[in-house]
Structure 1
Amino acid sequence: MRPVSYSRVADVATAIGTVTADPGSTFLAGGTNEVDLQRIHVARSRRLVDINDLPLRQIEELPGGGVRIGAVARMSDVAQALPVRRRFPVISQALLLGASPQLRNMASIGGNMMQRTRCGYFRDVAAACNKREPGTGCSALTGVNRGHAVLGTSEHCIATHPADLAVALVALDAVVLTQGPAGHRQILADDFFLLPGDTPDREHAISHGELVVAVEVPPLPMASTSIYLKVRDRESYEFALASAAVAVAIDAGVVTDVRLALGGLATKPWRARQAESVLVGAPATIESFRAAADAELAGAVPHGMNAYKIELGRRTIVRALSTVTGDARMVSDDGNPP
């Protein structure tokens, strides 16, 4: 049995100071990921600092049409918040599809951003895992890897990032606000999550004692008709095999702007910039959507059991784009499904 101490704080400065002073400590909000990892001895913090009393639950409208979401706001509250549902339905949909109602009532936005992979080898302390213990190897490379990543992988790690919300935030150019020993920072969501490279144990661009305090989503008029499409093994609570967060602006049948990010396929929430570059200036047709999907998945690297994800990713991108643009054909001119 491993002893763990617990303390509860009521202000941000105390929370940061308490965690910074102890390398073996960590922040605790809803605990839906951290407590699980503690129980299976993957996370081994000696001290949990409860931040649920911090004044970080607000969901505020920003000038111009953006929104600021406090880090301790619950997933269920954010999903139902009127400014989020009206201006950024992709965020609401990602939250509702991201967990069961019970988990959504507990899990916080900041904690969701900090959640760790659900790779079975990461969670099995008897398996080799560079993410859990750097330098031990990656069991998934030659193991059971049906659910693993095909984008953003390295020879050290192919674990899929589990996020739904973060995929939507990366698509919308959201900014993560943090506060730590060195002061305040603003980090673009796409930069907040790190590729594994040769340091897969480092997943986020923050340091020990640095606390996520809020997420700001900038104004984006076309996001009012955005969607989050999630493909999974079962319709009830399950992690994505492939997902897409999409917002598109069209003028006279031509794509003038687009935001596209992918989940379930990569080692981090994946901004599909290759697909976006193909789409801007192209006609809003199935053929263009397929060309964009092909461009984005061209660099995908399969690992045995997960090779199917490349085609699944293509179809997910095309279906999401077709849905958000209202293209009712859902098949190309050659009769093939998207």
Structure 2
Amino acid sequence: MLLYFHIPFCDSKCSYCAFNSYVDKFHLKQEYMKALKKQLEFELKRCKPKKESIKSVFIGGGTPSTVSPELYKEIFELISPYLKKDVEITSEANPNSATKHWLEGMRALGVNRISFGVQSFDEKKLKLLNRAHNPNQAIEAVKNAKKTGFENISLDLIYATLGDTKELLQNDLNLAFSLPINHLSAYALTIEEGTAFESKPQMSKEQLEITQWLFEEIEKRGFSQYEISNFGTYRSVHNIGYWEYEEYMGVGAGAVGRIANKRYYPQPDIEKYIQNPIDINTEELSDEDIKIEKIFLGLRSIVGIDKNTLDKQEIQKADLLVQEGKLIFQEGKYFNKEYLLSDEIALYLTS
């Protein structure tokens, strides 16, 4: 089982961000973390995880590094009996708020992996994206994480932004790989509803040739691609768990959880969540819903699709793609050779 915590507080609202996050609710941090604990207690009773059955924990947001380690302490005490001995515990962080004190405090709690929202080392691009840090802060934050004792360090980069050039992206990669990281996530800028960029669709400008070049450049540095946006000498247990369709508890305002064929949605509004953290909407997934999700997730990652997941007609289509060299069939599973075509292949199989 996986466990996800959502921290909805942010230093700044990035121009592309559609996540449930707020820059004006910092005064609610303590109350929010108490509500988070209440929902966690509820989820542990409902899901009944066995002792040492949680294989990964992910603290995302928002910006988890805006909340002090002291406020996480009771959460970690509560989950302690359920964590596997080799559990992966990841926290996202922003370079400007992940101070040395914060990193030391989180490591003392048991966090053993840090994922930095760097996005770029180019000052103009960071301002365009409305990021709250500068390039030097990003470099120092990663170095401080290593000094603090973190072995597993990841950073995010954004590409397909208006103004991106091979030179700019190459410089981002050069700086990223000069740092002590073993994982990198590269995300294409997408224009989401309700974001500052919604009225500026021209800000997103993906060119397939540059995307392919970028992915090749990352792999040249020894980071193998294990999902459309993820590369590394280390592969995140939590990421792979999602793609393998493992069950997960989602705790926090705007989090999502899934147990068996039911998906759970806690209240996204912070104030309402604090008032009643167990006001949770439920969606029942049909067998067809689950199959389609497994196909889409499998094709965009190293997980692949189990042949038994597909019906007769879908198997015929998949076998045709194997003959054409677009899929690989090994040990009862279909694997995608070209992640950038994953959605198109999934639509072909399921239409």
TM-score (norm 1): 0.33
TM-score (norm 2): 0.32
- Structure number with the higher helix fraction is 2
